[in-house]
Each structure stands twice: as C-alpha cells, then as structure tokens.
Amino acid sequence: MVSLYPLRWLAGIACYIAFGVGGLLSSVTVLPLLKYWPGTPEQRIKRVQKAVHVMFRGFVKMLTAAKVVKVSARCREQLRNAESMVVIANHPTLIDVVVLISLMPNAGCIVKQGLWRNPFMRGVLSAAGYIPNRAAELLLQDCQQVLQRGTNLVIFPEGTRTQKGTVINDFARGAANIALRCAAPVLPVVLKVHNAGLTKQDPWYAIPHRTIEMQVLTGAPVTAAGLTDDDTHAKQARQLTRDLEFYYRQQLNEHYELT
C-alpha cells in the first residue's frame, strides 16, 4: 500500500508557505489600509485585530484540509464574546496561538522584542495593538491599556511549548502578576491534544504522520482583585500561579489517563 504521508507533508508545507506569503502581502496592503482608515485609535486596532483573526482562521482551515490538525471547540461563543480578560492556555504545539486567535476576534498578545525590530512585522504588530516584551513596569502599563479597551490578552504561562513526555511545564508568575495588577479576570483555556505533533522537539517542517486532534476547552473565569501592596501582591501572585498550575495538571492528567 502506497503511503499518503508525502502528499500530506507537501500539503502541510504548502500551508506554511501560503501563510507566510499571505502575511507578508497583507502587511504591505490590507493591514496598513485598515490601520489608517478613518476612525478612533481603538476602532483602527479592532479592525486590524479582526483581520488577523480572519487570516488565522483561514490558516487553521488550510491545516484542517491538509489533515495536519483537527480543532474541536465547543466554547467558540464564549471565546468570541470574551472581553478584557487575561486568557491563559497550556502550550502543547507550534500553532496554539494561531488556533486561539482564530477563535477570538479581539485578541492581543505579548511579542518578543526581536519581532518588533523586524521592519516587516513592526507595523503589523503595532497596528494590531500587540505588546512588546519589555521592562516590567512598561509592560504592565501596556497590558493595562490593552485590557481597558476590551481586548483580551493571550498568555502562555509555561513560557514555551510543553516538553515532550510531560503534562505541562512549570508556570511562570507573569500572567498572575498582570491579572492582579490590572484587576482583570483570568480565563483558563485547556488545549487537549491527541496524536501529539509540532512539539518543542519537532522542527516546524516536521508535519506529523497522524492528524493532531486538538480539543479547546474553557474553565470558569477566575477573578483577580487588583492590589497595590507589593508584599501582599507577591504572595497572591504566587498563590494564583500555583492554583492555576494545579488546575491545568488536574485537567490534563485526567486527559492523559483516558488516552
């Protein structure tokens, strides 16, 4: 029997190429037009975010047609209607942020400084209201502004993709700190993956032999009260981080025990 994997690999690579070319073209055509079209700064940012959401949704559809990934999300309406939330998620695959933004029309994220120095990306990132990862106080000010205008902030507390063979990496306190400082609710999103692929140990071109089945689930929002006392804040950030990490380990351990 002839293996169909070479065709699936070619289809997957074609999706990446189309996404890259489309992103480059849109950064010099559609996105600048949306950015400078008349309106308030908030309206302009929301237009660009919606355009990025549509592009990412199209990319996920291409990956689905190429049988690279199959996404199941019964929580689409909750994610679509979320506002001013710190949306956290575990990070099992390369395409997690793409999947989340494809489900959320008003999502922003924190982007590493290297991308902000890229002349092709800087304008797009700024137009979409994304945040550069810089000094703590400046970062908190940026997060406050993003959340106040109703945008959701997507953060992966693991910091990087989950190490293969583990349930999750240890959580950093960044998401908890932001939620507490900005008095923003935390929305936990659990990504449960069958047929793991595109992990931290896999190069981007290693299209998995079996379709990655990703189930997107949301938990109950966690209210994070704003604090000004540094000692109290540090303790509460540690506790909130421990509670969230425990929740994810519980949810994902149940998943791995069943699969």
H, E, C per residue of the chain: CCCCHHHHHHHHHHHHHHHHHHHHHHHHCHHHHHHHCCCCHHHHHHHHHHHHHHHHHHHHHHHHHCCCEEEEECCHHHHHHCCCCEEEECCCCCCHHHHHHHHCCCEEEEECHHHHCCHHHHHHHHHCCCEECCCHHHHHHHHHHHHHCCCEEEECCCCCCCCCCCCCCCCCCHHHHHHHHHCCCEEEEEEEEECCCCCCCCCCCCCCCCCEEEEEEECCCECCCCCCCHHHHHHHHHHHHHHHHHHHHHHHHHHHHHC
Buried b (16+ CB within 10 A) or exposed e, 2-25: eeeeeebbebbeebbeebeeebee
- Report pLDDT for 132: 84
Instruction: Check residue 227 and give its pLDDT.
Output: 47
Distance CA 162, CA 39 (A): 41
Q: pTM higher than 0.95 for the full model?
A: no
Q: Are 85 and 185 in contact (CB under 8 A)?
A: yes
What pLDDT is stored for residue 136 in this prediction? 83
Spatial separation of the C-alpha atoms in residues 95 and 158, rounded to whole Å: 15
Give CA–CA dist 1/11, Å, rounded. Answer: 20
pLDDT by 10s per residue, the chain, length 259: 457 889 989 999 999 999 888 888 887 888 888 888 888 888 888 898 999 999 999 999 999 999 999 999 999 999 999 999 999 999 999 999 999 999 999 999 988 777 777 665 666 677 788 888 888 888 889 999 999 999 999 999 999 999 988 899 999 999 999 999 899 999 999 999 998 899 988 988 999 999 999 999 999 999 876 544 555 778 888 999 999 999 999 999 865 544 4
Q: State how far the Cα of 78 lies from the Cα of 167, in Å rounded to an integer.
A: 25
Residue 121: its pLDDT value, please? 66
